[in-house]
Amino acid sequence: MRSRNIRLVLVLAILSLVGLSTAQIYWVREAFNQEQDHFHRQVNAALNQVAHEFYTYSKVAPPVTNPIRQLSGNYYVVMVNSPIDANLLDNLLRKAFAAREIKTDFEYGIYDCTTECMVFDTYVKSGGPVLEQMSNLPVWDESNYYFGVYFPNKQGYLLNRMEIWTFTTVVMLVVMVFFGYTLFVILKQKRLSEIQKDFINNMTHEFKTPISTIEVASEVLQQPEIAGEPERLLNYATIINKENKRLRNQVERVLQLASLENDALELKNVKVHLHKLVEEVAEQMAPSLEESAIHLHLMATNDRVLADPLHLTNVIYNLLDNAVKYSLDGPQITISSRNENGNLVLTVEDKGVGMTREEAKQVFDKFYRVATGNRHDVKGFGIGLSYVKLIIKELGGSIDVESEPGKGSSFIVKLRNGA
């Protein structure tokens, strides 16, 4: 899929998600407000009924103004100004709320306006029975009384009544999660496609160079007059041999990484001296580098680790090779070691181009290279550090990188010390 099409899909998807979310939030709020208004009307009607039954019971004329006041979203008070029988109030409230299907817990209290204190309070569970009048509830005959009704679970009660909206919201969230996951997969596949494209370009270049060199050298060797020039013959034969080894090494590195990912690689771990392997790799690479390019500070007193010698050697080689590649003005590489908390810590530090924080996060990803695309100033497939991390992980160790653009990078390997 082209980048333009992916951007278009991404923009449309985000706009769709925002639009659907906005619409859902709007309609849920509208539905909640309607439920709240309905609840308020039903409670007012029930409390009005209770108040008028009190007036009838007490033979008091009802007030001209509305006796009910809503002090908050879930708290109502009713002015009675007549003797309040707690037993009667309890019975009337239960019946009035049951008749209007107000099925939620409530608490009511009787207040004395003259003393400004509550003289009775009780909590009624939803679905409780409508009680017959009970003789053990007190009766107050003083005037200036009112009662208050409080609904502690009003919010949850209203949400429970919105089952269809709850269901559609859950479905909406599932769709959004699926949509988001789909976008994530699309972007991931796009990135993988770009990385694979870079890998193919780099692989083509890396294979083409030795093949072209071998082709030219072999054409020269086919010339009849070359037989009389032994030095020239040896030179071209050496070139072919060198390029053939280079080509074979590139193929082996790709195959090694593939075998690791398929769990087809079996490490033959034995006790090895890491310092010896480091010195051997440094000595092997020294002829192709400037003098004093590699500095060894191997200070660990215990350099024994349990590892596969072949693959651990490859790890060291890849770390050094990476340091050389990204030291464009002449490599200055320091290899140091130390013991720390039962671990052997090996650090490979260079003074090369360094990396940004984002590049450092991806440096161990397969096929990733700091220099990508058609830039071939830094050779390689982008699999060396991926191979390093996989091997270190198989050995039960860890590898981290510290880097700063323009100042170089440090790769820190930790392996458990062998006995």
Digit-coded pLDDT (tens) for 303-356: 999 998 888 998 998 898 888 888 877 788 999 999 999 899 999 999 888 888
Kindly tell me the burial class for residue 137, based on how many C-beta atoms sit within 10 Å of its own C-beta (0-12, 13-18, 19 or more): middle
Confidence at residue 206, expressed as pLDDT on a 0 to 100 scale? 66
Mean pLDDT of the residues in the chain: 80
- Residues whose CB is less than 8 angstroms from the CB of residue 87 and which lie 6 or more positions away in sequence, other chains included: 133, 134, 135, 137, 139
Cα atoms found within 13 Å of the Cα of residue 29, Cβ hemisphere only:
6
Its sign, for the CA torsion 107, 112, 113, 115, is: negative
Confidence at residue 1, expressed as pLDDT on a 0 to 100 scale? 55
For the record, the structure tokens of 150 come out as: 């409080």
For the record, the structure tokens of 37 come out as: 């208004």
Tell me: pLDDT of 142 over 80: no
**Which of 23-37, 149-163, 249-263 comes out lowest in average pLDDT?**
249-263
How confident is the model over 27-35, as a mean pLDDT?
Answer: 87
How confident is the model over 71-99, as a mean pLDDT?
Answer: 83
- Residues whose CB is less than 8 angstroms from the CB of residue 97 and which lie 6 or more positions away in sequence, other chains included: 46, 103, 106
Q: How many helices (H) and strands (E) does the chain have?
A: 9, 14
Confidence of residue 145 (pLDDT cuts 50, 70, 90): low
Confidence at residue 87, expressed as pLDDT on a 0 to 100 scale? 82
Assess contact for 196 and 366: CB atoms under 8 A.
Answer: no
Confidence of residue 415 (pLDDT cuts 50, 70, 90): very high
- φ, ψ of residue 68 to 5 degrees: the values are -100, 130
Percent of the chain with pLDDT over 90: 14
Confidence of residue 286 (pLDDT cuts 50, 70, 90): confident
Please state, in angstroms and rounded to a whole number, the distance separating the CA atoms of residues 208 and 218.
15
Q: Tell me: the pLDDT tens digits for 353-404?
A: 888 888 888 888 876 766 534 334 555 556 778 888 888 998 999 999 999 8
176-194: b (≥16 Cβ within 10 Å) or e: eeeeeeebeebeeeeeeee
The amino acid that residue 31 corresponds to is: A
Please state, in angstroms and rounded to a whole number, the distance separating the CA atoms of residues 331 and 355.
16
Assess contact for 321 and 384: CB atoms under 8 A.
Answer: yes
- φ, ψ of residue 117 to 5 degrees: the values are -140, 160
DSSP state letters, 184-223: HHHHHHHHHHHHHHHHHHHHHHHHHHHHHHHHHHHHHHTS
Confidence at residue 102, expressed as pLDDT on a 0 to 100 scale? 87
How confident is the model over 36-64, as a mean pLDDT?
Answer: 84
Query: Which domains occur in the chain, in start order?
Result: 3-160 (no CATH), 193-261 (1.10.287.130), 270-416 (3.30.565.10)
